[in-house]
């Protein structure tokens, strides 16, 4: 019997992964669009370093729901660190990403990624670092897929998008231009994450943190009208809503208010 070529093996693996994504309801929108959001962060200058530095990298959560959101948010922070060329901030973020990847049962995939992040940091290869950060998020999402946990894969993406949106909204509110404001409007990705939040399990949808995030996302979406640049007042409102959503996502007691800490 003829042995399969490497190309055939890769094709089989890719086909199996795509089938699993379809089976779990994970849409192809997540990784490509979140990756584009990260790339678009370069449009929002100057980088909001004070906001990135205020992020508590040592914080951890006893549940995978918030850990997934936090992981995605830290990847967004890492992208801003590369844009601002802040090596130590990026290294600290990389260490935190590795720790949380282990919590999400994705540590094995990130072994080589972690070495690459630190090597690229030493070489000041900022473009390479952005590519590696995007691949890091993809690896964690793929690990969730292998565990047949589509909800967690979506939450990693949501955390990345929401943090990226928050950072961009702060820059736009502080340094408003119609171009920046227009770049905040991403109706397709907003609609996707709203739909995925609505599809969480009934027990999850009753949790205060989920209710808080979902309501803010829907209000942001209502403000973000395609083809119409948000006004300065609109941007301030979206910034505040993003702040509230991130605060809820990373609140220590968010999952315990209804008596439970497990996802």
Lowest mean pLDDT: which of 60-69, 81-90, 94-103, 221-230?
Answer: 94-103
Contact 49, 80 (CB under 8 A): yes
Average pLDDT of span 212-222: 97
The per-residue pLDDT for 34 is 63
Closest CA to 77 of 62, 98, 61, 92: 92
Q: What is the pLDDT of residues 105-121, one digit of tens each?
A: 766 666 667 778 888 98
Lowest mean pLDDT: which of 117-121, 143-147, 156-160?
Answer: 143-147
Q: Report CA-CA distances (Å) from 31 to 9, 69, 254.
A: 23, 14, 26
* For the chain, percent of residues with pLDDT exceeding 90: 48
The alpha carbon of 20 is separated from its chain's Cα centroid by a whole number of angstroms, namely: 21
Give, rounded to a whole angstrom, the gap between the first and last alpha carbons of the chain.
47
The per-residue pLDDT for 255 is 61
The per-residue pLDDT for 13 is 41
The per-residue pLDDT for 221 is 97
- For residues 222 and 253, which has the higher predicted lDDT (pLDDT)? 222
The per-residue pLDDT for 208 is 92
- Which pair of tokens denotes residue 97? 């990403």
CB atoms closer than 10 angstroms to residue 8:
11
Residues 6 or more apart whose CB falls under 8 angstroms from that of 107 comprise 98, 101
The per-residue pLDDT for 256 is 52
- Percent helix / strand / coil, the chain, rounded to 5: 75, 0, 25
Average pLDDT of span 49-61: 94
Contact 77, 115 (CB under 8 A): no
Q: What is the pLDDT of residues 159-204, one digit of tens each?
A: 999 999 999 999 999 999 999 999 999 998 899 999 989 988 888 8
Task: Report the predicted TM-score, pTM, of the whole model to 2 decimal places.
Answer: 0.82
At residue 122 the predicted structure's pLDDT band, cuts being 50, 70 and 90, is confident
* Positive or negative: CA dihedral 122, 42, 44, 36: negative
């Amino acid at each position: 019997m003829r042995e399969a070529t490497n190309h055939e093996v890769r094709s089989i693996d890719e086909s199996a992964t795509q089938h699993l994504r379809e089976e779990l309801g994970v849409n192809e929108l997540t990784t490509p669009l979140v990756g584009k959001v990260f790339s678009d962060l370069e449009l929002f200058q100057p980088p909001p370093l004070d906001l990135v530095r205020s992020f508590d990298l040592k914080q951890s959560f006893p549940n995978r729901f918030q850990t997934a959101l936090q992981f995605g948010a830290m990847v967004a922070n890492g992208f801003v660190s590369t844009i601002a060329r802040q090596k130590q901030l990026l290294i600290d973020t990389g260490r935190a990403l590795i720790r949380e990847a282990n919590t999400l049962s994705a540590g094995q995939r990130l072994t080589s990624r972690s070495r690459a992040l630190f090597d690229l940091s030493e070489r000041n290869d900022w473009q390479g670092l952005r590519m590696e950060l995007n691949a890091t998020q993809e690896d964690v999402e793929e690990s969730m897929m292998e565990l047949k946990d589509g909800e967690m894969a979506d939450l990693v993406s949501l955390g990345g998008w929401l943090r990226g949106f928050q950072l961009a909204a702060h820059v736009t509110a502080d340094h408003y231009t119609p171009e920046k404001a227009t770049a905040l409007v991403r109706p397709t990705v907003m609609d996707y994450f709203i739909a995925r939040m609505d599809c969480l399990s009934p027990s999850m949808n009753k949790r205060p943190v989920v209710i808080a995030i979902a309501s803010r996302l829907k209000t942001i979406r209502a403000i973000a009208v395609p083809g119409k640049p948000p006004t300065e007042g609109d941007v301030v409102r979206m910034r505040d809503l993003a702040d509230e959503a991130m605060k809820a996502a990373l609140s220590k007691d968010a999952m315990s208010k209804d008596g439970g800490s497990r996802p």
